[in-house]
Structure 1
Amino acid sequence: MCPKNSFSEWLMDALQVMKPPEKLTVSEWADKYRILDIKTSSEPGQWSTDRTPYLRGILDSFTDPRVEEIIFVKPTQVGGTETLNNMLGFIVAQDPSPALVVYPMIELAEYTSKNRLQPMMQLSPALAAKFQAKESKLLELQFDGMYVVISGANSPASLSSRPIRFLFMDEVDKYPKNAGIEADPRSLARERTKTFAFNKKIVQTSTPTLKNGPIWQAYEKADVKLQYYVPCPHCGHYQTFKFKGGIKFNKELPAEQIRQTAYYECEKCKGAIRDAHKPTMLRNGEWRDSTGVTRLATKTAFHLNAIYSPWVRFGDVAYEFMISKGDPETLMNFINSWLAEPWEKTQVKLSSDSVLERTSGYEEGVVPDRTIFLTGGVDVQRDRFYYTVRAWGEKITSWNVRHGFCETWAEIEDVMNAPYRSKDGSEYCVSLCAIDSGWNPDDTYDFCVRNSEWAVAIKGASNEIPAKFRLTKIDREEKGLFGISLYLIDGGYYKDLISNRIARKPNEQGGWYVYEGCDREYAEQITAEHKVEIKRNGKTIDVWQLKTAGADNHYLDTEVYAAFAADRLGIRYLTYEEPIKEENLASKQQEKRSANNWVGGEKWI
């Protein structure tokens, strides 16, 4: 029989083991039990979520049963790494189950285990009591009721075959594409969670790199995308911190003065928001989606930039931009590490303002002086036809004469056959109109056959073609039509031509111009695409892509078709011929008559 005091001690120990964990969220647990190490933290001691209030929503989503996967797109200096560490500490103390933490390289995994994770476990009494230091290895930490595998994305062996419930992936954009000779390391790591089909948690964080990088792709595919809205200290309007349009500074000042004088401007009341306002704004902030609603889903994504960091001033962001903007590499770091946005290797990017500035001095419908001919372009859509009429002069100078949309083929026929006049009364009609056959090829072919003297069907080439355009012939036996002309065109080439001509100096010969009072909708569609670098089949190539998914680019397509039509008519080889005035014509006729009377003007018989 056990002594009384021994039994009491045994009973207390048994009850302590059976005692359920406290009902805490991750942020509440961290505020109570997490201790920051003096060697790795700029603010060592007890963790306080109030220091970085925006992390509370991310931390607490980890314990929400609706959320299976958390995506955190982050800059540097916002506490992103500590977010993962707090979640890891929470499961050790509150919900022990096997876990895997993946870093980009095995060497980084070893360093982090030694210098951050193990010290974290030893500093907190709540974790130290469960940490089995003697049974642990550098890359496999043992705890009461669980283990944590620490691995590198470049090491397939460290990602292999142990079942895990919790998966943490840090800086995924720095992962190699393959783990040795095996598949994508993220896929290999996910495979380990299969046996925990209903209660697994996957967390991936990273500073983004490119638009097609892992973290940005995960963000784009998330069920919910959340941003941190903060209230204006003046009017209370909730808004997100943005660099463009938000941080105000005088670009003419030296960079150091910009650092001291920059401020943030409220998007609603235009009040000046200073650095001193930021802590209160952050404490009152809320995670919301684009509709202004706070909600969570199976895959929930969070996006944050460095402007929110309590350790970064508004002036610091402006200063960093000013010293970075002149060099692509440092600018890329600013975009990625400060704004937490993907870097687009943009070769050509135009704004609608740059189009509206290219005014020709002529009103809509008036043909500019020294025009050689007109061409047209038509983009066929399901319910309407977008069109353009463009005048062409020497050295491929061009002017938009008219653009708009029609609802029927008959209206398109009227637009392209209408007379257009210059200021001196000279009359022009469209010499050649290129019509897109991609949407409704049968009707387009019929129309172009019936109007073959001025209309031709075209289609954007899906593969590379050896020239700017290539003529093909198609037959439509069911309608008794044979040898219909169809031109395959390189749309990228003509978009290059247009963008290069827009970029020329105002009034320069060879420029690309619009009429006075041109509408912004047209200008925005002309600049709806930009040229970026992408990788395809292992090669880096330049392609034109929409800046924003779903944006309209119909007028850009019509201008591409009109440019092709001008090229087809040989505009680059033509020169303008001055019209013969009436007095000059009479003189030439008199000279001709004199030349015919070749013997002194008298009859020789």
Structure 2
Amino acid sequence: MFRLEFTPGECAVMEPTILDQSTGEWMQENVVVPEGPMKGSHYDPRLSPYFPPLWDLFMQAWVREMAVAAGPQIGKTLFGQGFLARRGVERPGPRQIALPDEDLTEDWFDKKLIPLFENSPKLRRYIGDERNAVVKTEISLKNGTTFTGRWMGSLSKRASLSVLDGLGDEPDMFPAGAHKDFVERFNTFSTLYKLLWIGKPIGYDGESFIWDEFNRADVKVRWAARCPACGTYQVMQFENIKVPEGVRDPAEIRLNKAAWYECCHCEWRWTDQIRNRAVRDGRLEFDREVDRPVKIGVHIPSWNSRWVSLSSVMADWFAAQGDPDKLKSWWNGYAAQPANVIASESNEERLQQFMVPELPPLVVPSEAQAITLSTDMQKDHFFYSTCAHWVDPTGQDDGSEEWIIDQGKIETFKELHELIFQSRFRRDGKRSDFLGVWRAGLDTGGGKNEWEDETRTMQAYEWLLRQRPGVVFGTKGMSRKTPGYHVRLGNPMQQLPNGRKLKRPMRLHFIDTDAFKDLFFWRLSDEARDKEGRWLEPIHFHAKTPPEYFYQLCSEKKVLQKGTYIWKRVRANHWLDCMIGHLAMAHWQWSPSLKAMVAADMAARAAAKTQRASQGEKKFNPYTGKEM
């Protein structure tokens, strides 16, 4: 009788695999965790609930690549090990792990991958029987699978043989050209390979390889936690991690566990323990539906991890303020994204404290000296606001004060003309003292509507030419800034962009919008207080200012990107642009300046008073000097 016998290696190759078993179940059954807080225990999918569905997604036959941008303490290494181990056991072939340098490669095998197989009884039986089955940076299995480490700092080391699967660990630390060399290893298995990039982003926008891979993915995936109170699924945002009002000391936040996460729907406060439950009950959230995506992008910030306290997130956030390097590390680490270092911002609640309860809309404070009207032009409407100003003309104090007394939206140039030339605002406390608009500005930027022949800019120019000189002015943001110049009068415009020559030259006022945004947000910050807590240059808002106005004022943040501070818009900013117009029109570089005109008025009044005193009871007009 003929008897067929197989070697242990052949038995391993022919051993049936459970194809319908999820990777999370396979990990729980086969893997003993080699390092970290759960070292020595069997893998528990509840501790990192986002990994099992991500493994199953990655194991789909049509998925070739996955880029996971994740923060510290998420479990990135174990996710990569689980992918390699299951694929290596079930589908024989060469695998390669790419790391930034030689020491990291040796440590990765010595402390992570080799212990994963040797300390897990069910995985240990797959290791080959040869003496050199496990060496410094290589593991060989009985079924023919090999795991080989390659450090990307050496051109000769990374130019190796073709591989079926690969893991690029911390690719943002790879030298230039290494990513392309590593990807070329998969050309032979172009319809079978799986490549996993995993690590934290490093640097600013445009500097992170893994963030670029995430953005180039067919589908972007995030983890949506489920609120235990209301059941709402939500991708956790940093803006919802909060601390008590006025608490900013990192040590106090960390010691007292002062931070919590606020549910975006019911506003229930999640402690660390509630956050853990919400994350455990969560699910994957896709940015769009794609049939059989080839490349998957994944983003998992550290505040999804049970090993990261929300208080640590906030304590390190406040500790990093004012230090660009620390802020960059915070964004790269906790937020797992390129640095978006916020240098200046505000919020609606903070701005609402500058409302004056006793100041009704459309009423001018008694001390105000002039009124400006600022307009931001859109394709088929205008946003506007009206501001009352006070400046100190004596030279003893360079302070100023503003009151927003009206804001709104109009549709036509005719309405704008009426608003500027026909509006009269009553001075507070006086029935018969009214002020009109002293100076008005119109932002001339704008595109073209499909139903119109002219651009909005052309319409604005033609409208400005028909207005009374010295009252309404066209404005435009500076494309090229000159240090020290916040407002600059442009050269006379002899003809319009369409070639039409002008009988009367027109000049635009160019504004350094970034400089005025700096000024505006500084005037609303605690830095704009003196030692007694008084505001140096306050800005106020009337008692019925609508919430949407404050919402737009907080539409931009000053962030550090690629080593440069820029103002970044996060939503509609039309009323913020109007505010910048007010500050520009009252600035001393806008000639004639409000300060100069108020000083001249005071001088004329003083001279008239002196003349009256010297000539008895005769009264004189303070502006003409003639007897009344």
TM-score normalised per structure 2: 0.78
**Which stretch of structure 1 is more off in the superposition, 12-21 or 504-513?**
12-21
Is 1:484–2:481 an aligned residue pair?
Answer: no
Cα deviations across residues 485-535 of structure 1 (Å, max 9, x unaligned)? 233332111111211222234873522222222112111111111111222
Q: Hey, what does 2:443 align to over in structure 1?
A: 435
Counterparts of 1:366-377 in structure 2 under 5 Å? Answer: 366-377=363-374
Is 1:420–2:424 an aligned residue pair?
Answer: yes
Is 1:226–2:221 an aligned residue pair?
Answer: yes
The whole-number CA distance in structure 1 between the counterparts of 2:522 and 2:263 is 37
SS in 2 for 1:76: coil
Pick aligned residue for 1:134 from 120, 132, 135: 132
Equivalent residues of 1:249, 1:263 under 8 A apart: no
The whole-number CA distance in structure 1 between the counterparts of 2:619 and 2:501 is 57
Q: How many residue pairs were aligned?
A: 572
CA positional deviation for 1:446: 0.9
Is 1:558–2:578 an aligned residue pair?
Answer: yes
Q: Hey, what does 2:624 align to over in structure 1?
A: none
The whole-number CA distance in structure 2 between the counterparts of 1:115 and 1:30 is 18
Counterparts of 1:172-183 in structure 2 under 5 Å? Answer: 172-173=171-172, 175=173, 178-179=175-176, 183=177
The whole-number CA distance in structure 1 between the counterparts of 2:232 and 2:443 is 49
Pick aligned residue for 1:28 from 18, 25, 32: 25
CA positional deviation for 1:572: 5.2
The whole-number CA distance in structure 2 between the counterparts of 1:13 and 1:101 is 23
Equivalent residues of 1:103, 1:151 under 8 A apart: yes
Q: Hey, what does 2:594 align to over in structure 1?
A: 571
Equivalent residues of 1:400, 1:513 under 8 A apart: yes
The whole-number CA distance in structure 2 between the counterparts of 1:433 and 1:208 is 44
Cα deviations across residues 47-105 of structure 1 (Å, max 9, x unaligned)? 33244332211222221234333232323223221000111112211223443323233
The whole-number CA distance in structure 1 between the counterparts of 2:12 and 2:405 is 85
Equivalent residues of 2:303, 2:313 under 8 A apart: no
SS in 2 for 1:495: helix
Q: Hey, what does 1:520 align to over in structure 2?
A: 547
The whole-number CA distance in structure 1 between the counterparts of 2:73 and 2:98 is 21
Is 1:542–2:542 an aligned residue pair?
Answer: no
Gaps of 5+ in 2: 392-398, 448-455, 621-628
SS in 2 for 1:35: coil
CA positional deviation for 1:136: 7.1
Equivalent residues of 2:390, 2:400 under 8 A apart: yes
Equivalent residues of 2:71, 2:200 under 8 A apart: yes
Cα deviations across residues 429-481 of structure 1 (Å, max 9, x unaligned)? 23242432343221121111122612232322233335323513332374232
Q: Give the 3 Å change call, closer, same or farther, for CA 516–294 of structure 1 in structure 2.
A: farther
Q: Hey, what does 1:601 align to over in structure 2?
A: none
Q: Hey, what does 2:344 align to over in structure 1?
A: 348
Cα deviations across residues 307-327 of structure 1 (Å, max 9, x unaligned)? 543445xxx432563476244
The whole-number CA distance in structure 2 between the counterparts of 1:273 and 1:486 is 53
In the alignment, residue 32 of structure 1 is paired with which amino acid? Answer: E
The whole-number CA distance in structure 1 between the counterparts of 2:291 and 2:243 is 32
Q: Hey, what does 2:395 align to over in structure 1?
A: none
Equivalent residues of 2:316, 2:330 under 8 A apart: no
Equivalent residues of 1:226, 1:301 under 8 A apart: yes
The whole-number CA distance in structure 2 between the counterparts of 1:380 and 1:515 is 23
Q: Hey, what does 2:394 align to over in structure 1?
A: none
Pick aligned residue for 2:477 from 446, 460, 464: 460
Counterparts of 1:93-242 in structure 2 under 5 Å? Answer: 93-124=89-120, 126=123, 129=126, 131=128, 134=132, 138-139=136-137, 144-160=143-159, 162-173=161-172, 175=173, 178-179=175-176, 183=177, 185-209=178-202, 212=205, 213-233=208-228, 236-240=231-235
Q: Hey, what does 2:405 align to over in structure 1?
A: 401
Q: Hey, what does 1:392 align to over in structure 2?
A: 389
In the alignment, residue 414 of structure 1 is paired with which amino acid? Answer: E
Q: Hey, what does 1:599 align to over in structure 2?
A: none
Q: Give the 3 Å change call, closer, same or farther, for CA 234–459 of structure 1 in structure 2.
A: closer
Gaps of 5+ in 1: 596-605
In the alignment, residue 365 of structure 2 is paired with which amino acid? Answer: P
SS in 1 for 2:221: strand
SS in 2 for 1:150: strand
SS in 2 for 1:78: coil
Q: Give the 3 Å change call, closer, same or farther, for CA 520–30 of structure 1 in structure 2.
A: same
CA positional deviation for 1:223: 3.9
Equivalent residues of 1:165, 1:193 under 8 A apart: yes
Q: Hey, what does 1:502 align to over in structure 2?
A: 524
**Which stretch of structure 1 is more off in the superposition, 394-403 or 518-527?**
394-403
Q: Give the 3 Å change call, closer, same or farther, for CA 239–154 of structure 1 in structure 2.
A: same
TM-score normalised per structure 1: 0.80
The whole-number CA distance in structure 2 between the counterparts of 1:450 and 1:526 is 31
Q: Give the 3 Å change call, closer, same or farther, for CA 296–502 of structure 1 in structure 2.
A: farther
Is 1:362–2:379 an aligned residue pair?
Answer: no
The whole-number CA distance in structure 2 between the counterparts of 1:106 and 1:573 is 69
The whole-number CA distance in structure 2 between the counterparts of 1:529 and 1:356 is 17
**Which stretch of structure 1 is more off in the superposition, 343-352 or 303-312?**
303-312
The whole-number CA distance in structure 2 between the counterparts of 1:510 and 1:280 is 48
Q: Give the 3 Å change call, closer, same or farther, for CA 592–347 of structure 1 in structure 2.
A: same
**Which stretch of structure 1 is more off in the superposition, 523-532 or 218-227?**
218-227
Cα deviations across residues 556-598 of structure 1 (Å, max 9, x unaligned)? 11222232222314235554656969x9799559538599xxx
Q: Hey, what does 2:616 align to over in structure 1?
A: 591
**Which stretch of structure 1 is more off in the superposition, 559-568 or 512-521?**
559-568
Equivalent residues of 1:434, 1:562 under 8 A apart: no
Equivalent residues of 1:472, 1:485 under 8 A apart: yes
Is 1:69–2:65 an aligned residue pair?
Answer: yes
The whole-number CA distance in structure 1 between the counterparts of 2:62 and 2:9 is 35
Q: Give the 3 Å change call, closer, same or farther, for CA 307–445 of structure 1 in structure 2.
A: closer
Q: Give the 3 Å change call, closer, same or farther, for CA 63–434 of structure 1 in structure 2.
A: same
SS in 1 for 2:490: strand
In the alignment, residue 132 of structure 2 is paired with which amino acid? Answer: K
Equivalent residues of 1:459, 1:486 under 8 A apart: yes
In the alignment, residue 377 of structure 2 is paired with which amino acid? Answer: V
